[in-house]
Amino acid sequence: MPSAMTTFDSYFLMKTTLPKIDSIEKKWYLIDAEGKTLGRLAVTIANLLRGRNKPIYTPHLDTGDFVIVINADKVKLTGKKKEQKEYMFFSGWRGNEKYINVEDMLKKRPTFVLEHAVKGMLPGNRLARQIIKKLKIYASSEHPHEAQNPIPYDA
């Protein structure tokens, strides 16, 4: 019969280390959304924002990086989503629901489509509201973040 493990032995088996907030290194990534599928791109962006690509990933800490997305108006949707997918806006007043399909939204506010998709892939808590602030989306290929030296990321 095997002997029972003592508390001394169990203490040295495994230690969980948490990263210190000061020691987390945040990088800047540049992603070109031209020709990329919306959902697959949103997953990649959400993982970079949360830091899931790092070995120090901790679900309750912000270990992620900054992400700059350019050419958001040229994102691709599969199937008939451009005509059929709709966003609903409700003011709170009776009879004041407004539906806008993706094709019109890409013309009107191209950054909204990608931001909405990424927000849906983050947890619904205060940490997600902090994380989404690190996402910078631009409809054209120009952005004002050259000083941060973003690393091109192939999504």
Residue among 147, 114, 111, 136 at smallest CA distance from 30: 136
The per-residue pLDDT for range 71-116, each reduced to its tens digit, is: 999 999 999 999 999 999 999 999 999 999 999 999 999 999 999 9
Phi-psi region of 14 (alpha: psi -120 to 50; beta: other; left: phi over 0): beta
Q: Residue ranges per domain, the chain?
A: 20-76+110-152
Contact 131, 50 (CB under 8 A): yes
What whole-number distance in Å separates Cα of residue 109 and Cα of residue 136? 14
The per-residue pLDDT for range 19-63, each reduced to its tens digit, is: 998 999 999 999 999 999 999 999 999 999 999 999 999 999 999
> Which carries the bigger pLDDT value, residue 60 or residue 17?
60
The per-residue pLDDT for 4 is 62
The per-residue pLDDT for 21 is 87
The per-residue pLDDT for 15 is 78
* 3-class SS of residue 9: helix
The answer on pLDDT for 1 being more than 60 is no
The per-residue pLDDT for 17 is 84
Residue among 70, 69, 66 at smallest CA distance from 28: 66
CATH dotted code for 20-76+110-152: 3.90.1180.10
